[in-house]
Structures are given as C-alpha cells and as structure tokens.
Amino acid sequence: MAPRQFGRGADYRINIVKRPKEATGLEAELGYAFRRHHLLEQALTHSSYAREQQAAGDGVNVRDNEQLEFLGDAILGFVTSEELYSRFPQFHEGQLSKLRAYIVSAEHLVNAARKLKLGDYLRLGRGEEKSGGRSKTALQVDALEALLAAMYLDGGMRRTRAFILERIVEPELKRMGAQLSTGVPIRDYKSALQETAHSLSKPQPHYVLVGEEGPEHKKTFTVEARIHSHGNKVEYVGRGQGSTKKMAEQDAARQVIEYLSSVEQTPKGDRKRRPGTSQN
C-alpha cells in the first residue's frame, strides 16, 4: 500500500500498514501521524508498565514517559509564554505569569487530555490499571505533556506550536472571555467567593455535599455553595460537580460569584432571585 496523507496540514507522509489500531486512533484525535512511532509509545508509557516489563526479564528495554514529560512541560510553558507576550502587551510580568500558570495548570490540561481520550491509550502496569489509573488527572496530564515532547522530537516546533495553540491555549482564552480584561483570571473560586461575600456584607459561604455517584475509583461529587441571609435563610445557592469534592466546591463557588456579579450590575428594580435558590 502506498503511503497516505494523514493529519491536518498534511506535512508528513507515513505508511500506516503496520501501525496498531490504537495508535492510528490516537493519531486521528491528534490530527498528526508520527514518523517515529516509538516516541508515541514512550509518551503513553507509565513508569508502572515499564517496571513490569523490565521485571519480566525478557530483555526488552521499555522507556517510560517521565523524561518526555519534563521536556513537554518546558515546551508548553515556552509556547504559552510567547503567545501571551505577543497577545497581551498591556499586561505586566505578574499578570502574564498568573495567566500562564492558569493555562498550563493540571486543572485545565486535564480537559484537553480528556478530549483526546488519552486515558484510553495509556500503557499502565496491572496495579495502576486496577486502581483506576486511566481516569487519574495526574497520569493524563503527564501523558499530554509527554505527547507534546514526542510531537516536537518527531515533527519539530512549528507543528507542535500549532497544536498547543489550537488545542490548549486558544480554547481557554476564548472561554475566559471578559476575565482577560484584568489579566488575572480566578483560579481559587472559594477564596474569591469569601472576598466577594465580605465586600457585599454577606455571611461567609457554607459548602454541603449533596450527592455522589459512580464507582469508587471514578466518583462524581455534587456540592452546593450556600450563602445565608442574616435571617439565616439560604439566599444564594450554586451547585457544582467534579471528580473530587474540592473541584465540586470550586465549581459551585464559581457559579455563585458569577451570579452575584450579575446581580450587582443589575438595577435593584430589575433583580430577580436566581432560579433554583432556596428560601429554607
């Protein structure tokens, strides 16, 4: 079979006859075909898998993704810094640093990793597999950073930079929208809600776990952030979800902040109680 064009931009040609189905599936998600397939395999190899293979003593040298992760982290930081420097000349160093830290945080990167379904392609040891390693944020983020390094080593900076901007930086900048007017997006919504409540002379928020579902290794938690009135009635409620209680609390706090901000910008005569808020 003749080599076929593969991926966005189609800069690289590669014969995929001998490629495993799993690899071509991920390459389709990436929009990029590796010429040196061992780099892709290494990027997806967790240290638990490499240790098991070495312990088996079959003479095969399996490399894990930790060194690639180190390089990928640096590449991601550089590309993000360069883009923010060019796009926001009005921001001072502190603002740029905070914005970069937000974009390259695990909380954000895991979303990009999940869209690529990276967890499905990880090579894990048996123990890590049984403990739900495929859904762990840390493992998915590490693999994403390793993948960036593998792409760089295989195809160079131009293609890697385009991927980072398209899949990681641009979606988040677009989502943040108006927050960029300050240059300092909120990461700790719980602390921000405390400050907001204090500035509005309202009681401090109270967080209540109202539900959890799913298997032990992949639970989804639902938490309500409640602000009571001075008469001890619940005045505002935000309901958030997350794979941890802390993430659910942050999501709930974010909702309340957004609502309080909208209320304060609305004339008093036009204000309406937020749908779903409780009076009990």
**If you count them, how many residues does the chain have?**
280
- For position 280, what pLDDT does the model report? 38
d(CA 169, CA 22): 26
Instruction: Decide which of 1.10.3720.10, 1.10.1520.10, 1.20.210.10, 1.20.1580.10 is the CATH code for 4-181.
Output: 1.10.1520.10
Asked which of 22-36, 134-148, 255-269 is least confident by mean pLDDT, the reply is: 255-269
Work out the average pLDDT over 53-72.
87
d(CA 164, CA 104): 11
User: Active site includes 142?
Assistant: no
Helix (H) or strand (E) holding 10: none
- For position 17, what pLDDT does the model report? 32
Catalytic residue, candidates 145, 172, 235, 249 = 145
List, in sequence order, every residue forming a beta bridge with 223; answer none if it has no partner. 209, 240
Work out the average pLDDT over 41-67.
88
- For position 59, what pLDDT does the model report? 59
Q: Are 259 and 239 contacting, i.e. CB atoms less than 8 angstroms apart?
A: no
* 117-174 pLDDT tens trace: 999 999 999 999 999 999 999 999 999 999 999 999 999 999 999 999 999 999 988 8
Q: In terms of CATH architecture, what is 189-270? A: 2-Layer Sandwich (3.30)
d(CA 156, CA 264): 49
Asked which of 49-53, 75-79, 110-114, 180-184 is least confident by mean pLDDT, the reply is: 180-184
Catalytic residue, candidates 41, 73, 142, 224 = 73
In the chain, CATH 1.10.1520.10 covers: 4-181
Helix (H) or strand (E) holding 23: helix 21-30
Averaged pLDDT of the chain:
81
Work out the average pLDDT over 109-113.
93
Q: What is the pTM of this model?
A: 0.64
Q: Greatest CA span in the chain, whole angstroms?
A: 77
User: Active site includes 145?
Assistant: yes
Question: 239 pLDDT exceeds 80?
Answer: yes
In the chain, CATH 3.30.160.20 covers: 189-270
How many CB atoms sit inside 10 A of residue 229's CB? 12
Instruction: Look at 10 and 139; give whichever has higher pLDDT.
Output: 139
* pLDDT category of residue 179 using cuts at 50, 70 and 90: low
